[in-house]
Amino acid sequence: MRWLDGWSPAPEVRRDPLDPARAAALHALLAFTGSPPPDGFLPPLFSQVYFESLVDPHELGPDGHARGGLLPPIPDRRRMFAGGRLRVAAPLVFDEPASRTAAVARSEVKHGRTGELVFVTVRSELHQSGRLAAVDEQDLVYRSGPATSRPAATPASTVDGVAFRPDAIALFQFSALTANSHRIHYDLRYAQDVEGYPDLVVHGPLLVLAMAERWRSDPSRRPITELRYRLHQPVFLGERVTVTERAVAGPDGTLRASAVVNEGTSG
């Protein structure tokens, strides 16, 4: 893909004082999971509401994302959150300055049924008090052209777990907390007419956070030190999502969690 010729963005370094009020606001959105309020430390993936800032509107592309930086220079791009990995060495402490260094770890062009796809992995290293606290990798997919239709849900057996139904207020609040101005989360006309979705799209990271917080709702469980996740298809405004989790037999205490929509697995 010629648009990526010579594309090698510099790492981005950002600092944050880690005000606990932001984590409290995020936890309020996730209270349905039954997890306890954060106390002294950031729970896994809560760093997503830190180290971010609003971008000058003149520097935004038509999709609402900033031009340049760690986003590939693809015209008419469509950005999808595909998955990621988290490794926690030490939990971040509230009210102590921390830094995040984010960089493109790898990028790859693939060909799918809808054309060329660009897979980009952004690796973020979080440091506090001179030590590495966590490594967070996110896999993002970029393509040009309208969105494809979502596959029909696969019939599934009854799922036990905690259910929630994301509404427009929840999407707005999560966008605000994460400084995410991608229009598919709040601009219905754009989501439908430009990107081809049937409704507003629920943030992938919100679903992953719900699964992690569901695990944290049981105080007898060990803290999450490593997490791998993959999102298979989008979830849309108003759809009922059931978050379930179970421990997989093994000495490593592996956790397997899922977010299920209408009888089909979506995350």
Rounded Cα gap, residues 265 and 255, in angstroms:
17
Q: Quick one: which of 180, 189, 179, 17 has its CA closest to 97?
A: 17
What band does 263 get if pLDDT is binned at 50, 70 and 90? very low
Residue percentage of the chain with pLDDT more than 70: 86
What band does 256 get if pLDDT is binned at 50, 70 and 90? low
Q: What does the pLDDT look like over 39-60, one tens digit per residue?
A: 999 999 999 999 988 888 888 9
Q: Is the pLDDT of residue 255 over 70?
A: no
Query: For residue 182, what pLDDT is reported?
Result: 95
Query: For residue 54, what pLDDT is reported?
Result: 83
Predicted TM-score (pTM) of this structure = 0.88
pLDDT higher for 109 or 133? 133
Q: Find the range with the poorest average confidence among 86-90, 127-131, 153-157, 183-187.
A: 153-157
Q: Is the pLDDT of residue 202 over 80?
A: yes
Q: Is the pLDDT of residue 223 over 80?
A: yes
Query: For residue 76, what pLDDT is reported?
Result: 77
pLDDT (mean) for 174-194: 95
